[in-house]
Every structure is written in C-alpha cells, then in structure tokens.
Structure 1
Amino acid sequence: MKLTTQILAALALTSLFSLAADRPNFLWIVSEDNSKHHTKHFDPTGVAMPNLEQLAKEGVTFDNACSNGAVCSVARSTLVTGCYAPKLGAQFHRRQKLVPMPDGLKAFPAYLNEAGYYTANKTKTDYNLQVDMKETWNGKDGWKGRAEGQPFFLQQNFAGTHEGSSHFPLNAMKKKPLQDLISNITLPPHHPDTTLFRYSYASYQDRLRKFDEQLGNLINKLKKDGLYEDTIIFYFGDHGGVLPRSKGYAYETGLAAPLVVRVPEKWQHLIPFKPGTRTDAIVNFYDFGPSIIHAAGIPLSDQFDGKPFLGKDISAEELSKRVAYGYADRFDEKYDLVRTYRKGDLKYMRNFQPFNPDALHNFYRYKQLAYLELRELHKAGKLNAQQELFFSRKPAEALYDLKNDPYELNNLAGDPKYQETLKEMRSTLTEHLKEMNDLSFYPESELINKAFGNPTAFGKKHSKEIAALIDLANLEVVNFDEAKSKIESALISEDVWTRYWACIVATSFYEKSKPLEVTLSTIADSDANILVRVRAAEALAHLGNSKAKDVMEKAIYASTDPVELNLILNSAAMLYELDPTTYTFDIDKSKLKTNSSLVKERIIYLNKRD
C-alpha cells in the first residue's frame, strides 16, 4: 500500500513537471536600497555597471518602475502579495505585529509551486505578513535543489548595497579615499556639496560596482548550467535609497527602482517590447508577482491588486496608460502618513501629517554621517532653500513635474495653470484610498488591538468610516475659512477617531487654527482618549500654547501600550525639534508603564542633550 502511494505521488509529480516543462524559468536579481538615480544606465550622474548594461542590451529597460513602498519590508510585502500594503495592514516598517494574509490569497510563489515550479529565496523574507514559508518557498539553494527538468523561480538578493553600508566611520575617508569616483560625483540640488556628501555618494557607487561583479557572476553561472536561454531575468532594486530624503520617503528617490527585464528569444512573445529598448511605461511592485504568474500561464488570483506586464495578451499601448500609487508610513520609530499618485510625468503627493518634517529623527537614519552633517548645516544656517526643505513644514499637498523637476523640489500645487490637474489627481487619489480601505487612518495601536486579526475584513467592515475620515483629513487642502465649521463640529464628535483627525487637521493649519484654541485646550485636558489628547496638544504647540508639554508628559507616563507610547513619543520628538527650548523632555524610564525597542530609541534621543 505504501509503495503504491509512493508510485502514485511520483506519477503525479512527473505529470506536474511535464505540464511545467514548456514554461520559462524566472530569476529575480535584487540589489538592496538603491534607487535608479545611482546607476548610470538610468541616470547620467550614476556609476557605470557594465554587466547590468550588457543585460539591458539584451533586455528591456523600464525607466518608471515604482516600488510603491519606500522601505524594504513594505516593498517586499507588496511584491510577495501583489497587493497594496495599506489595505493589508503591512505598511509599517518594521512590523510590531505580523498580519495574516487575506482570506483566500497566497503569496504569489505558492501558485508557482502548485503548478510544478521549484521556488527558492536566497535569502530575504522580511515580510510584514504571516506568509506560509513552506507553501511559498522550497529552499534557499538557487536552482540546484530542483528535480531534473523542473522549472524554477529564484529570488536572489545581494545585501552589499544596503543602507547599513553607508554607516561608515569618519576615518573611512582616509583609509579608502575613492578618488576615482569622487572626482566624477554630481550631487543633486537638495544635497550640499561637501567633502562628506561627495564621499558618501562615492562609497555607495563603489558598493554598486561590487554588486555589478556579483550580477555578472550569477549570469555566467546561469549560462554555464545551460539555463540562460530558458530563463526570464529581472534585475531590480528593492526601493530607493540610501542618502537623505530617499529610503523611507515617498519621493522618487525613495520609490523609483531600477528595472531591467531580459526575455530569451523563445519567450519574446511574452513581452511587448523588443530587446535593447527602453520604455517609459509605469510598472509597479504589486504588478511583479501577477506578471510572473501570467507569463507562466497560470490563472491569476482575483485578489491581486496588480496587473501583469508580461504575458501573451499584454500590449505596449495598454501599459502606457498605467499609473502608480505610493505610500510611506512608520519607519522604525518615526511616523508619517504620505500617499502619492503618479500619472505620466506628473506626481501628486498628499502629506496627511504635514507638520512632521522629513528630517524628524530616526535612530537608524542618523547613524549615517551624511544625515548628521545635514542636520548640523541646518542648525548653522548653511543650507540653501532647496536643501532646507528637508527641515521645513511640508505642504498638505504637492504636485510635481518629474520631467523638469526629478527631485521634487518645485511644488506646482499653487500654480494657476495646474489647478484642474491638481483637482483631478487629488480626486483620483482620494477615491483610490477609499476603494482599498486604507487602514492608516486609524492609529497603529488601534489596528493592532482591533484590526490585525483580519485586516482586510476590518477594512471592508469599516469602509464607510474610513471614507469619512479621509474626507475629514482632506479639509487640510481647502482654505481655513471654508474648513473651520467642519473642524469645529468634528472636534466635538462622539466618534473618537473623528476627534482624532479633527485635531490633526487643526494642527495642519498652524497659526490659522487660533479660533479653535479653547476647544483644543479642553480636549487636551479631558478627552477620554489619550491619543486624541496628544493630537490636541500638537495643535496647541503650533499655536504657541506651552500647555502642550504638560499634556505630552502626562500621556507618556500614562500609556500602557508600547505601540501607542511610540506614537506619543513621535509627537514629543516633533515638538522638541520644533522648539527645543520649550519642549525639552527628561523622561524617567522607571516611571514608564510599558516599553519596547522603539520606545527606548526615542527616549535615548529625547533625553540626549546637544
């Protein structure tokens, strides 16, 4: 009986392999933390990478690939699911709680597995979701672990370009001068032309040169094993990075990934572009998984948000009409809430908490000397207007012409010529956020306590409430006189998250919110919800009301939830950087009712004295 079962299993496996035999192999070659701006093939200021350039001669260069998430765990969660991370609860880096996959959806490599593919990941699986690793990945050994004749999908990661490589000590500049690179560095306008910044760029380009050697070695290995002409190769960076205002930020320097796809001659019918060409069609990380599934001839899950850009029925004309959505939320202990919508060369950016400056402290970022130098130059008043944007209040909404302004420094939202476009893109993004039930309109602590058992089901159940919160948040983009009465009503709402967002909207108007001060003061003193009190305190601080510090300190010692406390401390850090004289904190760790690694990092920063 046992022998019969084994024979039947072997026959089934053989049948599965024979069905898969006429399907291509897939190889993803991934470099970490580099936007397209660092690579000469995509940007004239980047470094030459001959092996990548050779791959591009045989493949297709996608000049507008979007990682959607601007940091690794969020981008990888987007990749592996083919879905928008904020609807899954997978938008926070790093996760403070793993969230389940949506009911009925598998990580996309699992569908390849079911169709007879061997799947391997070598080796990066930092997802924010509870991915079933056994059904998703067969191994970590490249294509060597597969059965004879079995097609494979391999994701091969190279970590040498990771942001951590930029955490070099100051004496590295003497030990390894990199003069051949430094002499050719062209700095973008938002970075100061200093010796340290030049070296930081050169050091990163040196890392990319080493990666290019690894890329060439892997391709040669594929050729040696006789698999090159049977394998569709993707090369891409996993998001932007690594210098200030890139990784973790929803600018193109954080979202624009380099992407080259080589399709062998026998599979050319699966791509609508000729070898050696470039396309400005927008493709997204949530499209990558569906593209592999579709190119393999496997039915697509109706739960994918992404659409394939590979397959028999894909046209260049249809691809040219695609758009991109981006998102940036918490990165380690630093919170933000940014959403973007790109159509062609125009990009709309919505900063839902514009009072959080880009420069707000993050312990991992400020391990990098370039971040520290930028902060010191800011304090010394030595940055120009474009460089100062990093430390300034952000606009609630922005519109950028990426063709003429690739670093997103010239906001066109106030330009009369663009008002119709602005309204159209604002409306499109708003509808997108509502349609996907963007969970970030609730605080992360609330999501962990109430939603993360089944995030997508929670989103569907609360879709009307989410839509109402988005509409309330969008009062930030109208003038205060028009918004005032609606904010006043929302501040006294019986619904806690309506009051929460009303306080955030009030803060976004800064000094104009003076008529709301009495109500905000009452909320800061007596609201039943600790986070609403903190948000009211933020608004008061921007009105020059020093009561905010007392409210903040009471909240810090009252919180019993580590995720909630981290959010409170984010507000404290923002106020400290707004006015370090008034908002200097001296937190007694022994009096805290909860703690976490992120809380510890914030307290180290807040208790530190320059």
Structure 2
Amino acid sequence: MRLNYLLPILALIMNISCKGQQHTNKNPPNIVWIVSEDNSKHYLQLFDKNGIETPNIEALAKEGVQFNRAFSNAPVCSVARSTIISGCYAPRTGSQFHRRSKLVPMPDSLQMFPAYLREAGYYTVNNSKEDYNFIKSDNAWDESSSKGTWKNRQPDQPFFYVHNIGTTHESRVHFPESDIEDAPTTAKLDDYAVQPNHPDTELFRYTNARYRDKIVEMDGQLGEVVKALEADGQLENTFIFYYGDHGGVLPGSKGYLYETGLHVPMVVRIPENYSDMADLKAGSQTDRFVSFIDLAPTVLNLAGVQIPEQIDGKPFLGGGVDAKKLSEENVTYGYADRFDEKYDMVRSVRKGKYKYIRNFNPFNFDGLMNEYRYKQAAYGEWEEMYEEGKLNEVQSAFFKSRAPEMLFDVENDPYETTNLAIDSKFGTTLKEMRGLLNDWISGMPDLSFYPEFYLVENAFDNPVKFGRNHKDDIQKYIATANLMLEDATAVQAQLTELLQSSDPWQRYWALIVCSSFGDEVKALTPAIKKIAQNDVQGINRVRAAEFLGMNKVADPVPVMLDALYSAQYETEALLILNSIVLLNSHSYGYKFTVDPSKINEDFKGEKSEVLRRTQYLSAQTN
C-alpha cells in the first residue's frame, strides 16, 4: 500500500531527473564575438541620437539584448584586450601600459580564458587581432590568423569564434585636409552635431561624417559574418556578441577616460535553441552595467565551464546568474597610463549617472603631444585654434591643467564638460565616489604607483606577487598622492617630511603633489631644489625640476637633460621626456636642445618611443 502510494512520486522524480539530464547533455552553445575597433556607443543611432543607422547591428538587437551600459575598462586596444583575455584588471596584472615595454606572465597560473574552452572540447578561433600585453600563450587558440574559421572544427564540435573588424580603427581618419574637397562623404556633414568640447569647424564636421561612413561599412561586414553562420545552419545554436573594443577616435576619445573613450556599444543575440540560458528576453534592453572584465566569465559560464577564482569579473549571462542582483549592478572602473610615448595616470569610477575621474598627474594636460593621435588632422586644428585664442572655455580645457579630481553627471552632461567636484552641493556624492575609487586601487593593488621602469626591472616577472608583497607600500603611496586633494597649507608640514623620506617613491609622490599645488607650496622650494641636485633617483631630480620650472623659480632644463642622458632604462628615459615635452609646451615655453648622441643607444631603435619624442623636440627647436 505504501509502495503504491510512492510510485507516482518516484515517477515524477525520475521524469524531472531525466529532463534535467537531457538539458545537461545538450551540446553547449557556440559563441561568436564580432568586435569593431575604436568606436564608442556615441556613433550608433541604436545607442545615441547623434549616431548613424546600423541595420545589421539593429537586427541583432531585435533578436537579442541591447546593453545600454557596457564599458571597456581601458580606452586603448592592447590594455582593453589584455583585460578581456584575462578577465582581470590590468593595473593589478602589469598589463596597463600601451605599448608594452615588456610582456608579463598571466597572473597566478591563470590561463587565457579560451584555453579553458579548449579543455572543455570547444574549437577556439581568433580572426585575427590579439594585441595582448601578456606573454603569448600556445594553448588559447586552435587557430589565430586572418584565415581563421569555425569551419575547420570536428563535426558537431562547439566553437568560440572572434571576428575583429578594423574598418573603424583610428588610422582610418588619418587623412589630409584636402579630402574635404577631394573625398566627399556619404553621411551629410550637417546631420551630426559636433561635440561641445570640439570647435564646430568644417574639418570637425567632415571627420564626424567620414567616421560614420566607416561605421556603416563595419556594419555591413558584421552582417556578412551573421549570414555565414546562418548559411552554415549555426545561427540558432550561437550566441552572437557585438561590441566595440573601446571608445571612438574623434579627438579626446581613444586614450582618455571620458565616456567617449570607455562607453561601448554592445548587443548580444540570443539563439532560439538556447533562449533558456538568458534571463533577458529577445528584443529587450538593459541598463545593467557590464565591463570587459565580465566577458571572459560570461563566455565560460555560457559554455558550462568553471570560472577560475583569479578572475576579477563575473558572468552576466548563462546558468546561475542572479537576474535581480545583476539589474542592480551600476559600477564600472577605468584606467589610463602610458599610451605610446605619452605618460599619464588616470583612474575612474562610474556609479549610476555619476562619473568620478582621478588625475594623479593633473598638470599633464590632455592635449600633450602624442604623435599617433596628432596624425588626425582635427587634433592639429584643435591645437592651432587654442594657440590662436579661438576656443571657448569648454573647448580650451583639453590644453590646460586638469583638476586632481573631477565629477560629472554623465546623463545630463554626456561629454563631461562641467566639473561638479567644485560644487559643494555634490559633496556627499564626491566623497562616496572618491571612497569607491580608493578602495578599488588599494584592493587590487594598483601597480602604477611605481614608475613603469621600476616595475619592468623589479616586478614584471611576477606582477601579481609583487603587488601582494608591496601592498602596504602601495597604500602609503596612495595616501601620499591623495594629499593633493587636501588644503595645501594643512598638508605642508607632512609634505616636508615626505620629501625627506628614505623611500624614493614616497619622495616621488610628494614631489608630484607639490607640483599639483604649484605656488601654494612655494615655501618648500629650498627642499625641492636640494632634491633636484642630489636625489639618487634621476626621475626624482626630474620631478623636482618640473616643480621648479612650472613655478618659474629655477631653470629645469639642465637637470632634466642631465637625467635623460644618464637614464639607465628606456622607459625611464621616456618618462623623463614626458616632463620635458610638458615644459616645452605652450603652457611653459622652455626650450630643450636634446643631443641624441648623449642618449643610450639601446633606447633608439627604429620603433623607439624615445626616438619619437626626441624627433618631436628637435622639430620644435628648429
């Protein structure tokens, strides 16, 4: 009697179990990434009213999910792609400099994430850009070339395929101004508003239109990949991700932590046969925040592969995703360090509609010479108009020192033109955002509180281990750097002590703080003069001379050139040259006659960034 009573329940349990097994045994989905280079969401009408129509991307959105808040963590390709392939924040892993001076190992025995897919039976293909700052891995890809295709896999083998489209790359807007007449655009010049921080000139309108033509061309190429999947009978077995690999290329975007450098378009098409793996319905939009650190764990999760603990990101699609918790995600972080020959150190956090930017070298104005950027004609025109006094205050900001911290309401001020950090009404928000950023950079910890040349020589064999071993020191440097957020008079005594510290990197950051205050701490000039003459670290002598030169109390040229000629490492020379180019700029006007024969010959190879800087300075002198 009791057994008869249990039989229906046992049958129900077996039925549920069998259904679960059937679902588990279903082949895992294919996953395809279609990545367009160098375009933020601002150029696509799907995401921004000032954008152009992209019918193929729009078709993906109708059959998938439009992510309105997707972000690269870095505004340049090698750092963004290093973040993606590792799932880790670059300043933690030593992969934050573009271009890398030394490749670093993957952190803590972590593999590039496609390797885990291969182990699980996936065929992994990259067509074809890698551009990682990590030591090349032989186990990430079955194929990685311009001929790579999913069609070389075994029958019924699931695949992960990355298709890179270079049509929208920055180099596509390196054109002579004569093209305005000689190469008319399909997009109409007056159909797209020029950003408020840009001068509204014919050249800027033409550059806007020409770039949107490239967006349309890219969209057509994306459509061809989708058609190929459909022709192969794989469309409804494949999650298709479209996203831009970081921000766009109009001046002040790529290479900068503004929204135009970080906020990317992203659409994920949900395949019919795997619609149960997404908590969002086809044709929907979401404002949940997703970042590039989340891409690797999301792919692994969709594939049913365990996510390594070393990864910083978390999945936003697939089994076990908490939809309610994800809907509340509204924070993303960003980082910018060296881009080619131009040094800076900027960190950002966005929470909801507010964006906080921390400029750790605020005197390094945004428009400081970066040769590859200035190949774009619009950059040159922008600078010329500044020097001729033809720009308004908002447009001129690119060529002036920045505030150490900036706060923006990016929903009402999408091009980040009004700094709310100086408005007492936003004091609570400012404090919260500052706290978020400090917790993040301390927690990583952020290796960039050491100069790059020191990291190359002392940390890059195992950057993560170095960070763990020096976490306390890094937190001290962060505390020193943050003195520039205080009242100059209140911290002057503390700076006096730090300038005499036995730790060279405490002195280094104390000098940067002094330069951020300028003549507010002129009383420290005698101590800083001693450092300029006697510090054992050449870069500290340069930082001291930088302060003296910016405040017109001593000629910085002899000290800086002497440090350049005695530099032991290439990235040390490059960092010194950054200060030289700053003081050579229109803001300060010092003249540096660099003797290339006195610079270490090892620093002057054909593609040397040091050579690029010295050639620029030579042209300025002549």
TM-score normalised per structure 2: 0.93
Following superposition, the deviation at residue 200 of structure 1 comes to 0.7
Given candidates 314, 330, 341, the residue that maps to 1:333 is 341
Match of 2:428 in 1: 420
Match of 1:5 in 2: none
Match of 1:257 among 245, 257, 264: 264
After TM superposition, list the pairs within 5 Å mapping 1:594-605 onto structure 2: 594=601, 595-596=603-604, 597-605=608-616
Q: 2:200 maps to which residue? A: 193
Give the aligned partner of residue 481 of structure 1.
489
Letter of the 1:557 counterpart: Y
Match of 2:12 in 1: none
Residue 74 (structure 2) aligned to one of 69, 75, 95: 69
Residue 113 of structure 2 contacts residue 140 of structure 2 at CA under 8 Å; is this kept in 1? no
Deviations 1:331-389 (A, max 9, x none): 00000000011111111111000000000000100111010000100001011111111
- C-alpha distance in 1, partners of 2:340/2:453? 14
Which residue does 2:44 correspond to in 1?
39
Q: Does 1:30 align with 2:41?
A: no
Instruction: Find the counterpart in structure 2 of residue 279 from structure 1.
Output: 286
Trace 1:177-326 onto structure 2 (pairs within 5 A): 177-178=184-185, 180-322=187-329, 323-326=331-334
| Selected match of 1:84 from 79, 85, 89 | 89
Give the drift of 1:488.
Answer: 1.0
Counterpart secondary structure, 1:156: strand
**1:513 touches 1:543 (CA, 8 Å); kept in 2?**
no
Match of residue 528 from structure 2: 520
Aligned to 1:96: 101
Separation (CA, whole Å) in 1 of partners of 2:98 and 2:24 = 40
Task: Output the CA distance in 2 between the equivalents of 1:142 and 1:409.
Answer: 44
Aligned alpha-carbon RMSD (Å): 1.4
Describe the shift of the 1:257–1:137 C-alpha distance in structure 2 as closer, same or farther (beyond 3 A). Answer: farther
SS in 2 for 1:80: helix
Change (3 A) 1:540 1:139: closer
The gaps in structure 1 that reach 5 residues or longer are 1-17
Is the deviation greater in 182-191 or in 67-76?
Answer: 182-191
Letter in 1 for 2:618: N
Deviation string, structure 1 residues 62-89 (Cα, Å, up to 9, x no partner): 1111100110000000000000000000
Out of 593, 597, 604, the residue aligned to residue 590 of structure 1 is: 597
TM-fit CA distance, 1:190: 0.7
CA deviation map 1:250-272 (0-9, x unaligned): 11100011100111123222222
Output the amino acid matched with 2:398. Answer: F
Within 5 A, what are the aligned runs for 1:168-183? 168-178=175-185, 180-183=187-190
Kindly indicate whether residue 583 of structure 2 is the aligned counterpart of residue 575 of structure 1.
Answer: yes
Q: Which residue number in structure 2 is paired with residue 132 of structure 1? A: 137
Asked if the contact 2:189–2:206 (Cα under 8 Å) also holds between the matched residues in 1, the reply is: yes
Question: In the superposition, relative to structure 1, how do residues 580 and 340 fare at CA in structure 2: closer, same or farther (>3 Å)?
Answer: closer
Indicate if the aligned counterparts of 2:450 and 2:505 stay in contact, CA closer than 8 A.
Answer: yes
Q: Secondary structure, in 3 states, of the residue corresponding to 2:594?
A: coil
Matched, 1:470 2:472: no
Instruction: Give the structure 1 partner of residue 375 of structure 2.
Output: 367
Which whole-Å deviations, capped at 9, do the CAs of 1:384-428 have from their partners, x for residues lacking one? 111111011111001111110111111111212211111121112
Shift of 1:476: 1.1
Letter of the structure 2 residue corresponding to residue 569 of structure 1:
L
1:388 aligns with 2:399: no
State whether structure 2 residue 349 is matched by structure 1 residue 352.
no
1:532 aligned onto 2:540: yes
The Cα of 1:312 is off from its aligned counterpart by 1.9
CA contact (8 A) 1:107 1:136 kept: no
How many angstroms apart in 2 are the aligned matches of 1:274 and 1:415? Answer: 41
Task: Determine if contact 2:33/2:242 at 8 Å carries over to the other structure.
Answer: yes
1:440 equivalent in structure 2:
448
The aligned residue for residue 128 of structure 2 is 123
Q: Does residue 1:110 correspond to 2:115, yes or no?
A: yes
1:109-157: CA deviation from partner (whole Å, max 9, x where unpaired): 1110000000000001100001313344444422111100000000100
* Residue pair 1:287, 1:306 contacting (<8 A) in 2 also: yes
1:282 partner letter? F
**Residue number in structure 1 paired with 2:8:** none
Q: Is the 8 A contact 1:68 1:78 kept in 2?
A: yes
User: Which amino acid letter does the alignment assign opposite residue 78 of structure 1?
Assistant: T
1:50-107: CA deviations, max 9, x gaps?
1111111111111111100110000000000000000000000000100011122011
Classify the secondary structure of the residue corresponding to 1:426: helix
SS at match of 1:281: coil
SS in 2 for 1:203: helix
Change (3 A) 1:127 1:457: same
Which stretch shows the higher mean deviation, 551-560 or 33-42? 551-560
CA contact (8 A) 1:288 1:308 kept: yes
Shift of 1:34: 0.4
Residue 353 of structure 1 aligns to a residue whose secondary structure is coil
Normalising by structure 1, we get a TM-score of 0.95
Measure the CA separation in 1 of the matches of 2:349 and 2:305.
30
How big is the shift at 1:173?
1.8
CA contact (8 A) 1:24 1:231 kept: yes
Partner SS, residue 44 of structure 1:
coil
Larger C-alpha radius of gyration, 1 or 2?
2
Contact 1:25 1:151 (C-alpha < 8 Å) held by counterparts: yes
Q: Is the 8 A contact 1:20 1:150 kept in 2?
A: no
From 548, 565, 569, the equivalent of 1:557 is 565
User: What is the distance in 2 between the residues matched to 1:578 and 1:137?
Assistant: 51
Percent identity (aligned): 48
Query: 1:554 Cα shift?
Result: 1.1
**Cα distance in 2, alignment partners of residues 208 and 305 from structure 1:** 31
More off after superposition, 118-127 vs 20-29: 20-29
Write the distance in 1 (CA, Å) between the matches of 2:186 and 2:161: 37
Alignment check: 8 A CA contact 1:110 1:137 kept: no
Partner residue, 2:463: 455
Residues 451-477 of structure 1 show CA distances to partners (whole Å, capped at 9, x for unaligned) of 001000000000000011001101111
The answer as to whether partners of 1:107 and 1:131 remain within 8 angstroms in 2 is no
Measure the CA separation in 1 of the matches of 2:535 and 2:144: 53
C-alpha distance in 1 between matches for 2:24 and 2:567: 58
Cα offset for 1:578? 4.9
Alpha-carbon distance in 1 for matches of 2:25, 2:454: 45
Structure 2 gaps, min length 5? 1-22
Offset at residue 19 of structure 1 (A): 8.5
Give the drift of 1:315. Answer: 3.1
Q: Which moved more, 1:128-137 or 1:95-104?
A: 128-137
Task: Show the counterpart of 1:150.
Answer: 157
Is this contact kept in 2: 1:21–1:151, CA < 8 A?
no
| Pair 1:109–1:592, CA change in 2 (3 A) | same
Instruction: Name the residue aligned to 1:378.
Output: 386
Q: Report the counterpart of residue 497 of structure 1 in structure 2.
A: 505
Q: Is the 8 A contact 1:20 1:115 kept in 2?
A: no
